[in-house]
Structure 1
């Protein structure tokens, strides 16, 4: 059986206010192409389909269009679980209709999908047997059935369990991990030697590498699970929540597929992918990382030589097609008109931040004066002139300024007398 693992689509999410709808739509087109070219039998979507509990209508439409295309009219299995960003009832709303097409939608832990039979004479994906958070799936043309443990985001409220109200954070973390391990061991009793044994869940596993784009599952990190919580009899564990592609174990094979798009500049430079695994009972699992090309990359620029350096990079086509976060290092405040011109140089600038630094001479002057307001008139004039002209004033200009200042003081003194 060939399985494709993906997660954390976050439909509806933006990047510093920039709409990602076009990229998310392109991802679905690419995903459908991959499952067809790779002849995938089963697609696992491990949570966070949406970015919020109330996604825009276009995001829901894109999700259902993806399900219909991925299922291939019921010939390919599709399993979707809710993540911490998803509203469970919204994810499973179309479940009765979806089951008829071999699509399993689960919103809450301990849910049991419907056991359904395809219309007479039709070869479609069907659920042979099911219970809370597990089911056995038959896929046309595949000699082995899949037994899937599917545990949507298992918070205490969604589990409808109070793990403890008196534990310390460390005790709470251990208790939660042990509770998930007990659930997994209970459901794993349905695994058999002749079946493809799979686990999919949306949670934070110890050892996983985070990025800034994942909003915390729970303050304090209590909802953390040890890798040992997953049954050793599983062939593959497909996880969602962390947006970086990463492997956390080999026996069983435990993976985060990561998000298909980079959702924060902390992910700049990361390659996005889906995971394809081939499982035959009794044989080693084979995996393939399939890298995606549909999302725009993110790039961080640090310009230490002013706006002219930024203009040079743009002329060279640096990071063409990427969303760009620009850090502009300057020694003086930038004129507002010049800053607006900088913004208009490229539509790819998502975020521009100015970092004002002082050179060593200015630092010494500032330390001697105590603070900026106490700099001498000559020092203030030099800084003003450089900001406006872009160069240091020559000595004659400075001397002229000094004479004008002296004349002004004499005039002011005479008026006071």
Structure 2
């Protein structure tokens, strides 16, 4: 029985303001065909189906259309969906009673009894072959929020230790069900230690000072496969072949320019599982960086002018990132870039500006104390910030404008 692992679809996401409906739809069409071609029996979606907790009606319709098409492509297909941190767990679970009749299981919430005890049985799903025989047990664990996991008294890291305890306990419940020849796999939407992150992961994921990092040891060594979501780059964790992030199917930032997005497929057999194999996801809209390295503005404008024209092409042009190296602030930068790229077969998405570091060897100043900061005049603060960012003295004209604004503010405060 083949299992396909995917995660982090983020349906409804905007890429620097650009709608991605076409890209998501192309991915889902491809996924349905892949399920059919690979004869996939189990589909695991490890969180972040949607990009927002309140997705649009169009995004929801796209997801349920996919479920319908996937189950038609393989009537014996089992689909297990867990909620991610971007998903609304109650909203994702709302059609659960109806979908379970089609072998579609959605786990968003950690259910508890009146005494506050976790109902671990609700997190354990049997994986059956076409004859109805149970081949494996899936620990379907969604993104865990405060209150979802056990409280560990005197824990050094209550979050990480609580999540580890939940995984250990749900494994013990599954072990009581397991029979000879049956495997145990689990799902998770979390940030593990040693995970390699992308630009978007850096800005979005590291929100708890590192305490959210979960040790790979949290997953029992006898678990055959750990299907993870949350980090957007496909990778093994802890050097283990069976602990995997599949990564996002669509690029989430320009740092993924040369990165091949994928899903993972493995086979359940009597010995456990086969080695997971990646299947590359076709890129519906490519990323383009011009120039390839940060260059002077004249060189950038020349490179943009040499791009191919649209010539009435109705297709979806590449997303364009422009990389420019400046000596100082350039107020007309966007206008010049837009003018140079007008009529070209690209979609201007991002201008990444950097400034020449004339003082690269200089020692970085220490932060000011609160008392020292209070002693500085507004112009002193502005000058330090300007010089720190642009590595050049503040032009006299800008100083005069700043003094004028500061004087007007002082007059308003005085009245």
Aligned to 1:38: 38
1:342 aligns with 2:317: no
For 2:224, the equivalent position in structure 1 comes to: 235
The answer for the alignment partner of 2:325 in structure 1 is 329
Partner residue in 1 for 2:181: 194
Deviating beyond 6 angstroms after TM superposition, the runs of 4 or more aligned structure 1 residues are none
How far apart are the structure 1 equivalents of 2:182 and 2:222?
11
Deviates more, 1:94-103 or 1:301-310: 301-310
Q: Number of paired residues?
A: 344
Kept in 2: contact 1:48–1:82 (CA 8 A): yes
Moved more, 143-152 or 19-28: 143-152
Tell me the TM-score normalised to structure 2 length.
0.74
Cα shift at 1:151: 0.5
For 1:308, the equivalent position in structure 2 comes to 302
Alpha-carbon displacement from aligned partner over 1:137-156 (angstroms, at most 9, x marks no partner): 32315765221111011122
Across the aligned residues of Structure 1 and Structure 2, the Cα RMSD in angstroms comes to 3.2
Specify the structure having the higher radius of gyration (Cα).
1
Name stretches of at least 5 consecutive residues in structure 2 with no aligned partner: 114-119, 360-386, 398-415
Higher mean alpha-carbon deviation, 337-346 vs 52-61, is at 337-346
Distance 1:191 1:134 in 2: 11
The superposition leaves residues 198-247 of structure 1 with CA deviations (integer Å, 9 ceiling, x where unpaired) of: 11111111111112323227422323211111122222111110100111
Q: Which runs of 5+ in 1 are unaligned?
A: 113-129, 361-365, 375-417
- How much has 1:314 moved relative to structure 2? 4.4
Q: CA deviation at 1:70?
A: 1.7
1:275 matched to which residue of 2? 264
| Structure 1 position 135 matched with structure 2 position 125 | yes
TM-score when normalising by structure 1:
0.74
Q: 1:163 to 1:218 in 2, by over 3 A?
A: farther
**Residue in structure 2 matched with residue 175 of structure 1 by the alignment:** 161
Cα pair distance change 1:9/1:335, threshold 3 Å: closer
Partner of 2:287: 298
Tell me if 1:92 matches 2:93: yes
> Cα offset for 1:307?
0.5
Distance in 2 between residues matched to 1:185 and 1:60, nearest whole Å: 32
Secondary structure at the counterpart of residue 258 of structure 1: coil
Residue in 2 aligned with 1:17?
17
Structure 2 distance, partners of 1:359, 1:198, is: 54
Give the distance between the partners of 2:284 and 2:310, measured in 1 at CA.
22
Q: Displacement, 1:37?
A: 0.4
3-state SS, counterpart of residue 300 of structure 1: strand
**277-286 vs 195-204, which deviates more?**
277-286
Kindly tell me: are residues 321 and 147 of structure 1, through their superposed partners in 2, closer, same or farther at Cα, counting changes over 3 Å? Answer: same
Alpha-carbon offset, residue 356 of structure 1:
5.3
